[in-house]
Structure 1
Amino acid sequence: MSRQPGTAAVVGGGIAGLATAALLARDGWTVTLFEARDQLGGRAGSWERDGYRFDTGPSWYLMPEVFDHFFRLLGTSAEQELDLVPLEPAYRVYPEPEGAGPSDPVDVPSGRDRARALFEGREPGAGAALDAYLDSAREAYDLAVDRFLYDTYASYTGLLDPAVTRQLPRLLPLLTRSLEDHVARSFSDPVLRQILGYPAVFLGASPDTAPALYHLMSHLDLDDGVRYPRGGFTELIAAVARLAAAQGVELRTGARVAHVIVEDRHARGVRLADGTEHRADLVVSTADLHHTEQTLLGPAERTYSNRWWSRRNPGPGALLILLGVDGELPQLAHHTLLFARDWQRNFADVFGSPGRIPDPASVYICRPSATDSTVAPQGGENLFVLVPMAAAPELGHGGEDGAGDELIERAADRVIAQISQWCGIDDLASRIRVRRTITPADFERDLGAWRGGALGLAHTLRQSAVFRPRGASAKVDDLLYAGTSVLPGIGLPMCLISAELVVKRLRGERGAARLSEPAAEGSGGA
């Protein structure tokens, strides 16, 4: 049954909160959004100093059709709102070198034909194997988008659809074996295996725990290509905030929600940290689910118990190193990955117990200044370095110019030296003019992230699709959830979909169909 619009309070000003607020307002709700920090964006934040501006979160623009669909729901388009630049190469890889010198880079191109040539050049027969792998990845991706990602799972009707049941013989092996095993069945070259396995990290998992179904990720970078919104991902946040405001949403920053008001098992608004109350007919929390349930709700109002949380995987933490560097760095592409040879130990350090910061680490480097002149002073470079590490806030806080906790800053020094050696940038350390480290302890303090997780609940089998937390409280009516902790999962596109799932619930729409776009309304389009 469709819910009549009224007043809504949205907790959290990340992309999920902004998108939820915009879509609710489009449906006639009177919406106020509350963001604890002075800046919108949440994990997709921004930091600037001395002319260097850094995105502090997401940096890969994938699944473009999800963004296109969201913008069309609000009467516009990605092309109108963003200046999207295709990246070539899609990314560069540096394997761990054999000796003391730098390693030879491997440029991974966008587009299947060139990707096939790269694979065949490294391993005879791997080109044909990649074709079959990407055909399967595309089929899995299309199935996920058409049948799983836009389903609220308010019922299991969608899972019984013949279009899904017919796929079960093919799906079951992809759900019961790991991505690592799936890749190893077709490829022997260690670098090719790493290229196909590393996307598991974007899902908050390791290749040996992510279901093989997630080989669909390779369709996104190798088949579909990689783009960058000029100005950085802060421009994406600004665009969604602008659309929310245009729909009439009141955006309140510096407004920390301390409690969800619950009366007679119904959410009735929020109480802020300063004691003021904002009454509403509906509350949607896009804050981290653990923070929402453990901090904003009382014990009797929580859907998930402490025992439930103790058995969940928070995904990886991250050591972020933001570097403003003098001079050019042609050794690095817009996206660069450094792959440690001891793959198993690397992921054991990140996901094992006790958790560690790997050394040497598999490192991701974003150099947006390769594409965008607005993010660094003339003659300078902007580096965002991400080191997957344990979600372990006890390892310490980061800081500016080496002022973080000693263990963290020593690890950052090692990573800078590693980049210098592996990529052949001998003088990198001496050219650094701006430096900041960010850690799981900072994610926990600043973003309310459970155990300091950098992304959200890992996409292991038991934390994906129907097994992932739903978008509605089981204990409190009129309390809905969106964001990385709940369906459908991690990443900017998933957050946009989670916002759409809120609207589907309120409209009483079930199944896996997307909301109708304005141009298609009345014509049966989706």
Structure 2
Amino acid sequence: LRLRKFLKQAEYKYNVGIQDLVFKPGRSLTEFMDFRIFKGLFQLDMLKDIRKHVAEVSSHPKLKAILEFPVLFLGALPQNTPALYSLMNYADMSLGTWYPMGGMNKIIEGMVSVAKEQGVKFRTSTEVTGFKYSNGRIISVLTKGGSFTADIVVGGADYHHIDQKISSPEYREYSPEYWEKRKMAPSSLLFYLGVKGKVNNVLHHNLFFDYELDQHAHEIYTDPTWPTKPLFYASAPTKTDESIAPEGCENMFLLMPTAPGLSGDSEEVREKYYHLMMDRLESYTGESIRDRVIVKRSFAYSDFKSEYNSFKGNAYGLANTLDQTAIFKPRL
């Protein structure tokens, strides 16, 4: 009953967030002068932290960890995150986690198809190197493949990269010192695995909470370091969609949250955590998996930087703390 009440409250926050907050541009405080928002201010639990809110539901450590785990990716410890973000629990547990048959790339293919129908042209593998300005406005985008004129430019890349690397110095909004003070969401260490044969005793989604959440969270936010006893997520999408692997094989990936900006992202370090996670996965499933891995790719801090120009190698952007939300976000 307490969990149902918790999710009902989370549903209200989710609906207010989606309907009244998410699509506001975040340019002025007046955007939030909305009677419904003020009326429901206390229901949004802006002044209570998620840890206290979860404690009202259960004292069981596993359930508490499950309910607190999603906020680990927001950029702060559960005790420093507003209970507003229980809306993530509603999205996960009530609305469910959805998967596009054929793989996550099907979403991209669908968006590209719709865009092309509307006349959009895509220039892939074309790195943007700068902008050309006139009277303080961008009039063209400079790339390694030439320049492209535009009436409006929408920057969807990393905030820091656009401001500090692409924009001309005289048009940069912020100083390097400003960016160094920003709180970033975690980075991640991922392993993409192709396994010969099926893996038993796993589902599409698997959370390994066999160690304390607090220690891992502390090593992300309070004392950034490579985790001692990491929690991790293991996905086996072939349990839902067998088309994404050769017949009789398993498509899997492992994800371990890490602090952004960590040094020492070497193959040796990656292998250490690969075996830490695989030890626990094999112990749980009761079968050998490593000797059946026929495809293995890793992706971590340095890859987020090189592939996405991600500031400090973060995987999720700016931390979603109140002092970096809405009107407090950087403006470009």
Q: TM-score category by the smaller chain?
A: over 0.9
Structure 2 residue matching 1:229: 3-state secondary structure: coil
Residue 465 of structure 1 and its aligned partner are, at CA, apart by 2.9
| Structure of greater relative contact order (alpha carbons < 8 Å, 6+ residues apart) | 1
Instruction: Say whether residues 1:131 and 2:7 are aligned partners.
Output: no
Residue 316 of structure 1 and its aligned partner are, at CA, apart by 0.5
Residue number in structure 2 paired with 1:494:
none
In structure 1, which of residues 450, 456, 463 is the aligned counterpart of residue 317 of structure 2?
456
Instruction: Say whether residues 1:321 and 2:191 are aligned partners.
Output: yes
- The 2-side partners of 1:327 and 1:207 are apart by 39
| Percent identity (aligned) | 31
Residue number in structure 2 paired with 1:410:
272
Structure 1 residue matching 2:122: 3-state secondary structure: strand
- Which has the higher mean CA deviation after the structures are superposed, 137-146 or 216-225? 216-225
Q: How does 1:271-310 map to 2 (within 5 A)?
A: 271-274=142-145, 276-310=146-180
Q: How does 1:168-317 map to 2 (within 5 A)?
A: 168-171=41-44, 174-274=45-145, 276-317=146-187
Contact kept? 2:75, 2:221, Cα under 8 Å: no
Q: Which amino acid aligns with 1:232?
A: G
- The 1-side partners of 2:28 and 2:325 are apart by 16
Q: Deviations over 1:426-482 (max 9, x none)?
A: 311112111111111111011111111011111122122332234xx3xxxxxxxxx
Residue number in structure 2 paired with 1:344:
214
Q: Which amino acid aligns with 1:418?
A: R
Q: Deviations over 1:183-203 (max 9, x none)?
A: 113310011101111111343
Residue 175 of structure 1 and its aligned partner are, at CA, apart by 2.0
TM superposition score normalised by structure 1: 0.61
Q: Which structure 2 segments of 5+ residues have no match? A: none
In structure 2, which of residues 303, 309, 323 is the aligned counterpart of residue 442 of structure 1?
303
| Cα RMSD, aligned residues only | 1.7
Contact kept? 1:268, 1:280, Cα under 8 Å: yes
Instruction: Say whether residues 1:360 and 2:229 are aligned partners.
Output: yes
- The 1-side partners of 2:28 and 2:327 are apart by 10
Residue number in structure 2 paired with 1:25:
none
Residue 157 of structure 1 and its aligned partner are, at CA, apart by 2.9
Q: How does 1:356-505 map to 2 (within 5 A)?
A: 356=226, 358-392=227-261, 394-397=263-266, 405-421=267-283, 423-470=284-331, 473=332
Pair 383,360 (structure 1): closer, same or farther in 2 beyond 3 Å? same
- The 1-side partners of 2:73 and 2:184 are apart by 13
- The 2-side partners of 1:196 and 1:188 are apart by 12
- The 1-side partners of 2:28 and 2:321 are apart by 22
Contact kept? 2:9, 2:43, Cα under 8 Å: no
Residue number in structure 2 paired with 1:63:
none
- The 2-side partners of 1:354 and 1:388 are apart by 12
- The 2-side partners of 1:384 and 1:203 are apart by 21
Pair 439,332 (structure 1): closer, same or farther in 2 beyond 3 Å? same
Contact kept? 1:180, 1:207, Cα under 8 Å: yes
Pair 353,260 (structure 1): closer, same or farther in 2 beyond 3 Å? farther
Pair 153,461 (structure 1): closer, same or farther in 2 beyond 3 Å? closer
Q: Which structure 1 segments of 5+ residues have no match? A: 1-127, 398-404, 474-526
Q: Which amino acid aligns with 1:345?
A: Q
In structure 1, which of residues 152, 161, 168 is the aligned counterpart of residue 25 of structure 2?
152
Pair 324,204 (structure 1): closer, same or farther in 2 beyond 3 Å? farther
- The 2-side partners of 1:181 and 1:160 are apart by 28
Contact kept? 1:315, 1:457, Cα under 8 Å: yes
Pair 277,393 (structure 1): closer, same or farther in 2 beyond 3 Å? farther
Count of residues paired in the alignment = 332
Contact kept? 2:190, 2:253, Cα under 8 Å: yes
- The 2-side partners of 1:253 and 1:158 are apart by 36
Pair 164,247 (structure 1): closer, same or farther in 2 beyond 3 Å? same
Q: Which amino acid aligns with 1:143?
A: V
Q: Deviations over 1:61-98 (max 9, x none)?
A: xxxxxxxxxxxxxxxxxxxxxxxxxxxxxxxxxxxxxx
Residue 131 of structure 1 and its aligned partner are, at CA, apart by 1.5
Pair 340,346 (structure 1): closer, same or farther in 2 beyond 3 Å? farther
- The 2-side partners of 1:469 and 1:199 are apart by 24
Contact kept? 1:355, 1:392, Cα under 8 Å: no
